Structure 1
Amino acid sequence: MAKIEITKTELVWPGKYNEDGTLKEVPRVSLPFQVIERVNESRATRESKKGGVQQTLFDVWEGKEGETFEEGWRNKLIWGDNLLVMGSLLEKFAGKIDLIYIDPPFATGADFSFTAPIGEEGEEVYKEQSVLEEKAYRDTWGRGIQSYLSTIYDRLVVMRELLSEHGTIYVHLGYKIMHYVKLMMDEIFGTENFVNQIIWFYPDTPGRTEKRFNAKHDVILCYSNTTNYAFYANSVREEILLESKERYKSPRVLGGRSYVGGKSAEIGKVPEDVWRIPAVKGTTVEHMAFPTQKPERLLERIILASSNPGDLVADFFCGSGTTLAVAEKLGRRWIGCDLSRWAIHVTRKRLLDIPNCKPFEVLNLGKYERQYWQGVTFGDKKDKSVAERALYEYLAFILKLYGAQPVAGMAHLHGKKGKAMVHIGAVDAPVTIDEIEQALNECVALKQSELHVLGWEWEMGLAGPNNDRRRGGVMHEVARQRGVKLLLLQIPREVMEEQAAAKGDVKFFELAYFGVDILRPKPRTVAIRLTDFASPNMDELIPEDIRAKIKKWSDYIDYWAVDWDFQNDTFMQGWVAYRTRKERKLPLASDPHTYEKPGTYRVLVKVVDIFGNDTSQAYDVEVT
């Protein structure tokens, strides 16, 4: 390895520099965002706004909305790897985020595991991290402190590029790791831009050792992007000590002066850098039973001190959504991101519980798990030989992961696993009913009695169980009539994770299914009632002793919503119901919806299970 020239004081770890002694570049990959759901916004409101309108379910977010609420800004909750998310935000948000707060993992346990309550009794089940989450955990901690520093360094570099000129960043750390990150932030942001080292002291948590002084604090490092940073002292002035009474009073701050008990006093003080704020307890209203959840009071102080109403606040490890919830209550715009599906789901419900919550959208980092095949592998699609070779490599790769052998000479059948023929859906399009029908035709012609269809995305209405206990989807019935057993299987996002694929950890799960009744209580009025839910992967995810306690199919459902006029685009939440920690009952029938005029409408129903996985099915309804 080449000798590294030391020109400054810095923290160095294995892997920071290339073999030639140059600093490794931070990867910046710009990928498309796909809008999955718009919340608290009517379709009429959405269509009246200019720009940023998705025309189909698979179009990408264009980011044409304005930079204020008045100009149509929508807050954003994003599922995906935060390094990829931030790289994809750079084009439109570089230098535009006013405040970043992050609480990155600093434990040594499984950071993505959680307990989820089931049904009305709230019986909790432990959910192991997914393969994708496990890979992220290995990347962060697989080589100990070395991999952790690489992970955090790359992300901090991109965060600085996203910060506005007057912006600040707060990084929440454990006392065992903070000294490393302090040196790293000195390098990235500059020692001249160090603002504060804040001690968060949580007095009410129990001590756990008698062998040393009990650790009762975290550290929050605050850095600015430039020396011209924003700090709103008057927003966070706190109690003042009156010498005569020797106790704290809450002053009213008016025009730079405070008034206590009607008498003028010294203005309330700006808080010191040691904050005594209780941790979140199970008895508090804000408790989400989420690991490492931080109290809203803590984030309130940070957001008030370093942003104004309308400013843009971001949290790229958003967890249970504390930063976003507080930003919403304080009138800030916000962007949140997490790799955990459960975190995204918990945050969505938490935001919905806020009175008058402004519209927000849920986004995927659209198809990043397929970007390898769309861009890098396919290359120039005008070159037929390149495209054909890439298609062959793609099919061979998926077949190998599925444990199937390739077959040649078929137009719609790509492989065989045991007695079953296998069809693989395209990379950049949903599996359609017509596509399955063509594969069925080939099965019948070859006198094959079983067909497995693997897909990334699915045409609405295709979902259904892969057994005879329930009705199944439309294509299951067609297949049965033709003497073919049909299985629809999800290609998991984990297939693009090299380590997971190499370990053979990839599992192809059957699609979940739910049944509904369409109710018509009066003319031009429709309501939806759930009648069934089946998710085959629950047998894999839930221990047998917990499954034995499940009383009914609805116990597996945590949330469901209805788009009354789905137009093959983004899901628009027209009605929603979900369980909370306190209210475990879930209504299985929606409120009625009245249409303005008769016609045929497509109703899309979305169901989210107790682990945050969602399933959608569409129904065409004739309204008279």
Structure 2
Amino acid sequence: MSEKKEIKIAAAKGRPMLTWVGKRPLRSVTAFPAQHVETFSPADVGAIHESPVWKDWPAAYPQGGLLFHGDNKEVLGHLLANGFRGKVKLIYIDPPFDSGADYVRKVQLRGGAATAKIDGESYALGEQIQYTDIWANDNYLQFMYERLMLLRELLAEDGSIYLHCDQRKQHHLRCILDEIFGSDSFRNQISRIKCNPKNFERTAFGNIHDIVFFYAKGQNNTWNDQVEELDSEDMERLFGKTTEDGKKYTTVALHASGERKGPTGEPWRGIKPPPGRHWAYVPEMLDKFDDDGRIEWSSTGNPRLILYAEDQGNRRVQDVWTMKDPIYSIYPTEKNNDLLCRIIHASTRPGDLILDCFIGSGTTAAVAQKLGRRWIGCDINKGAIQTTAKRLQGIMVEQARAIHESPLRLPGMESGEGAAPAPTQLSFTVWRVNDYDLKIQRNEAIQLACEHVGVERLPSDSFFDGKLGKKLVKIVPFEHPLSPLDLEELKRELEARPELENTVVFVCLGIELAARTWIEDWNRLRKGAETVNKIEVIELRTDEKYGNFIKHEPAAAKVAIARAGDSITVTIEDFISPTILKRLDMDTPLFKAKIADWRSQIDCVMVDTAYDGAVFNVVLADVPAKKTDLIDGAYTLPAPEGKTTVAVKIVDMLGEEVLVTEGI
């Protein structure tokens, strides 16, 4: 969708301006096309799409949720190029915290099979590195700077952005937010209590909170006051006085800051407001308070308003929130639903568009869907996209069922007092930007390459991935060959670090002809035993010593598809994932003996009964609710008229997909 093109980005003009090594302004971004790969729609959504909230929706996209798989910098550029500039009402992001941690997606086989650790492995069965949060300060700051610049362009004039971070980078990120959005746009620094008190930090106070920065695009951002119930401890603390008949109460001042002309600035019952202040209520209201016995007079004749505990069940939400993350989560950085619920209620209205470009487990999209908002999510992680898609499928199926049972519950209307708005959409589509659908995830590929070649990892280095003896190693992302652009990046890095004299080894899956010429010219100027920064290449497909590295055996399925009258039957007869076998370090007979049911390898099954060869439209989704549940494996569906192609997509527990098609 759309051709590749450059999208201009306005400069950041706020103050102060943070400086770091290699800081570069983002003047433009390349907008790549998006490939439509999947559609999910559990019900007839025609009535929903007639809602006026869709009137400004870009015509190039179907009206529904959008889930993008790709680098979010490229996805954001794509959105800017395709009609979403200034359309997003709320942005919530929970980016990597530069924490020095490897986040992993813990996966185990279904049915409770083979959940123990395998001897000699550092991770339990099925763990996949999702992204490595190990960046030096400067790389991390440039990464966040560029994405926040793009997010500002997408945000509506009355929109808001909430950035979730922790104590490691909060001071830097606030400076960047001030620079991009302007310090006048700052609204809050929210402290979120994330866990119980810690006892293991012996030389410092335990950290139990993280930070959410709240900035507005303009001065008239959408805002809805939020209130929270007072607990018994608060009630006791705030209402410390007791009447003769046992009622708890407190008193507050009847005047407010600032002088006023008119009735509230005049004496009331002969009493003047204190200097520099005025009465908070008009005289008629003050008289009513006094007649109702709601004013307590001090010994000096100062009136104060009485507030009874029984009438004060809640208060406005302040900037400290106690909302702990899930104990048992489906994703390593999954956030509390209540956190997103409060943010969405505060800064949007039903039908507004919400964006999360670090979607992770999909909490933002899930809560937005439940609260009747439109949403866009993206992640570079295929595991995150799969997790989010499954989560949203379950929510939409439940919502479609509820609408079917209560036909009067229309989009944008409440079904009862205090009920959530009806869903704005009951479908979503999945897109891929710049072909990030890799068979092997980057961080896992790096780890395997390092083990294969014998590279010692350098997790603290901002540029190099490891060392091979005294040589520095840079691993090129496996989705593209070594190119002159990679070499130019190395040249800039070496110029910034003149103390480095090591030979540099590039490890890659291929090399462009122009890159070979570049390296030859570079090394031609560096002859002799004392020269520095020579470049070597290990091409993992053809290298004499390290070649034949990638030998990926895809998962395979035996599926029977047949037509019987007006129905189509789909029966999965067998499934095997060589990748899972390798993780288990078992041969096939032993695997069969230990895991009797092949279905334990399968995470979910989806069926499209009219597959066009390009976009997969989900007609049936078998997503077991619990890890101990297995897929059914046998399905009967209505048959379309005439000849059709049935497609069955099977996703294993490591996220690998198998697509089986048959024309019937």
Distance apart, 1:27 and its partner CA: 4.9
- Whole-angstrom CA distance in 1 between matches of 2:598 and 2:318: 53
Note if contact 1:104-1:317 (Cα within 8 Å) is conserved in structure 2: yes
Residue matched to 1:602: 645
Change (3 A) 1:616 1:65: farther
Change (3 A) 1:200 1:211: same
- Residue range with higher mean Cα deviation, 527-536 or 154-163: 527-536
Note if contact 1:204-1:279 (Cα within 8 Å) is conserved in structure 2: no
Residue matched to 1:411: none
Residue matched to 2:64: 74
2:173 to 177, 181, 194: 181
Residue matched to 1:551: 596
- Whole-angstrom CA distance in 1 between matches of 2:389 and 2:100: 25
Distance apart, 1:503 and its partner CA: 6.2
Q: Determine if the alignment matches structure 1 residue 593 to structure 2 residue 637.
A: yes
Q: Find the residue that maps to 1:507 and give its secondary structure.
A: coil
Distance apart, 1:610 and its partner CA: 0.9
Residue matched to 1:274: 320
Change (3 A) 1:72 1:86: closer
Q: Report the AA paired with residue 557 of structure 1.
A: I
Residue matched to 1:534: 576
2:565 to 500, 505, 523: 523
- Whole-angstrom CA distance in 2 between matches of 1:297 and 1:108: 24
- Whole-angstrom CA distance in 2 between matches of 1:323 and 1:221: 16
Q: Find the residue that maps to 2:111 and give its secondary structure.
A: coil
Note if contact 2:111-2:627 (Cα within 8 Å) is conserved in structure 1: no
Residue matched to 1:159: 151
- Whole-angstrom CA distance in 1 between matches of 2:373 and 2:111: 35
Distance apart, 1:567 and its partner CA: 2.3
- Residue range with higher mean Cα deviation, 324-333 or 565-574: 565-574
Q: Determine if the alignment matches structure 1 residue 10 to structure 2 residue 29.
A: no
Note if contact 2:607-2:620 (Cα within 8 Å) is conserved in structure 1: yes
Q: Report the AA paired with residue 141 of structure 1.
A: I
1:572 to 617, 624, 628: 617
Q: Find the residue that maps to 1:269 and give its secondary structure.
A: strand
Q: Find the residue that maps to 1:176 and give its secondary structure.
A: coil
Distance apart, 1:294 and its partner CA: 0.7
- Whole-angstrom CA distance in 2 between matches of 1:495 and 1:525: 47
1:141 to 134, 148, 156: 134
Residue matched to 1:493: 479
Change (3 A) 1:219 1:604: same
Q: How does 1:322-471 map to 2 (within 5 A)?
A: 322-354=363-395, 355-356=398-399, 358-367=426-435
- Residue range with higher mean Cα deviation, 315-324 or 348-357: 348-357
- Whole-angstrom CA distance in 2 between matches of 1:582 and 1:552: 14
Change (3 A) 1:40 1:65: farther
- Whole-angstrom CA distance in 2 between matches of 1:225 and 1:503: 48
- Whole-angstrom CA distance in 2 between matches of 1:324 and 1:107: 24
Q: Find the residue that maps to 1:168 and give its secondary structure.
A: strand
Q: Give the superposed CA RMSD.
A: 3.6
Q: Report the AA paired with residue 575 of structure 2.
A: F
Distance apart, 1:614 and its partner CA: 1.5
Q: Determine if the alignment matches structure 1 residue 116 to structure 2 residue 107.
A: yes
Please list the CA deviations of residues 238-279 of structure 1 after superposition, one character each: whole Å capped at 9, or x if unmatched.
Answer: 2256536779xxxxxxxxxxxxxx999468432110001122
Note if contact 1:66-1:73 (Cα within 8 Å) is conserved in structure 2: no
Q: Report the AA paired with residue 352 of structure 2.
A: D
- Whole-angstrom CA distance in 1 between matches of 2:584 and 2:215: 43
Residue matched to 1:393: none
Q: Which runs of 5+ in 2 are unaligned?
A: 1-12, 116-123, 250-307, 401-425, 439-448, 450-476, 487-505, 509-536, 541-548
- Whole-angstrom CA distance in 1 between matches of 2:161 and 2:141: 18
2:360 to 310, 319, 324: 319
Residue matched to 1:40: 41
Please list the CA deviations of residues 177-219 of structure 1 after superposition, one character each: whole Å capped at 9, or x if unmatched.
Answer: 1111111111111000001000001343654323321110000
Please list the CA deviations of residues 552-587 of structure 1 after superposition, one character each: whole Å capped at 9, or x if unmatched.
Answer: 432221111111111233111111112344552211
- Whole-angstrom CA distance in 2 between matches of 1:319 and 1:83: 16
Q: Find the residue that maps to 1:493 and give its secondary structure.
A: coil
Distance apart, 1:335 and its partner CA: 0.5
Q: Report the AA paired with residue 350 of structure 1.
A: R
- Whole-angstrom CA distance in 1 between matches of 2:313 and 2:26: 48
Note if contact 1:97-1:167 (Cα within 8 Å) is conserved in structure 2: yes
Note if contact 1:369-1:496 (Cα within 8 Å) is conserved in structure 2: no
Distance apart, 1:38 and its partner CA: 0.5
Q: Report the AA paired with residue 511 of structure 1.
A: P
- Whole-angstrom CA distance in 2 between matches of 1:585 and 1:65: 42
Distance apart, 1:316 and its partner CA: 0.6
- Whole-angstrom CA distance in 2 between matches of 1:222 and 1:39: 33
Q: Find the residue that maps to 2:106 and give its secondary structure.
A: strand
Please list the CA deviations of residues 19-45 of structure 1 after superposition, one character each: whole Å capped at 9, or x if unmatched.
Answer: xxxxx3355110111111101256x87
Note if contact 2:189-2:211 (Cα within 8 Å) is conserved in structure 1: yes
- Whole-angstrom CA distance in 2 between matches of 1:129 and 1:496: 25
Note if contact 1:601-1:620 (Cα within 8 Å) is conserved in structure 2: yes
Note if contact 1:514-1:530 (Cα within 8 Å) is conserved in structure 2: yes
Change (3 A) 1:231 1:496: farther
Residue matched to 2:519: none
Please list the CA deviations of residues 438-463 of structure 1 after superposition, one character each: whole Å capped at 9, or x if unmatched.
Answer: xxxxxxxxxxxxxxxxxxxxxxxxxx
- Whole-angstrom CA distance in 2 between matches of 1:87 and 1:164: 16
Q: Report the AA paired with residue 101 of structure 1.
A: Y
- Whole-angstrom CA distance in 1 between matches of 2:106 and 2:429: 26
- Whole-angstrom CA distance in 1 between matches of 2:575 and 2:481: 27
Residue matched to 2:553: 510
Note if contact 1:196-1:273 (Cα within 8 Å) is conserved in structure 2: yes
Distance apart, 1:530 and its partner CA: 0.5
Residue matched to 2:187: 195
Change (3 A) 1:230 1:568: same
Distance apart, 1:607 and its partner CA: 0.8
Q: Determine if the alignment matches structure 1 residue 307 to structure 2 residue 348.
A: yes
- Whole-angstrom CA distance in 2 between matches of 1:305 and 1:49: 25
- Whole-angstrom CA distance in 2 between matches of 1:65 and 1:614: 36
Give 1 or 2 for the bigger CA radius of gyration.
2
Change (3 A) 1:596 1:176: closer
Change (3 A) 1:562 1:119: same
Q: Which runs of 5+ in 1 are unaligned?
A: 1-5, 18-23, 51-63, 248-261, 371-400, 402-490
- Whole-angstrom CA distance in 2 between matches of 1:332 and 1:80: 23
- Whole-angstrom CA distance in 2 between matches of 1:65 and 1:362: 22
Q: Determine if the alignment matches structure 1 residue 210 to structure 2 residue 202.
A: yes
Query: Quick one: percent identity of the two aligned structures?
Result: 31
Instruction: Count residues in correspondence.
Output: 444
Note if contact 1:492-1:508 (Cα within 8 Å) is conserved in structure 2: no
- Whole-angstrom CA distance in 2 between matches of 1:572 and 1:162: 29
- Whole-angstrom CA distance in 2 between matches of 1:174 and 1:574: 42
- Whole-angstrom CA distance in 2 between matches of 1:543 and 1:224: 52
Change (3 A) 1:496 1:41: farther
TM-score, structure 1 as length reference: 0.64
- Whole-angstrom CA distance in 2 between matches of 1:503 and 1:196: 50
Q: Find the residue that maps to 2:157 and give its secondary structure.
A: strand
Change (3 A) 1:66 1:613: farther
Q: Find the residue that maps to 1:180 and give its secondary structure.
A: helix
Q: Find the residue that maps to 1:532 and give its secondary structure.
A: strand
Note if contact 1:66-1:72 (Cα within 8 Å) is conserved in structure 2: no
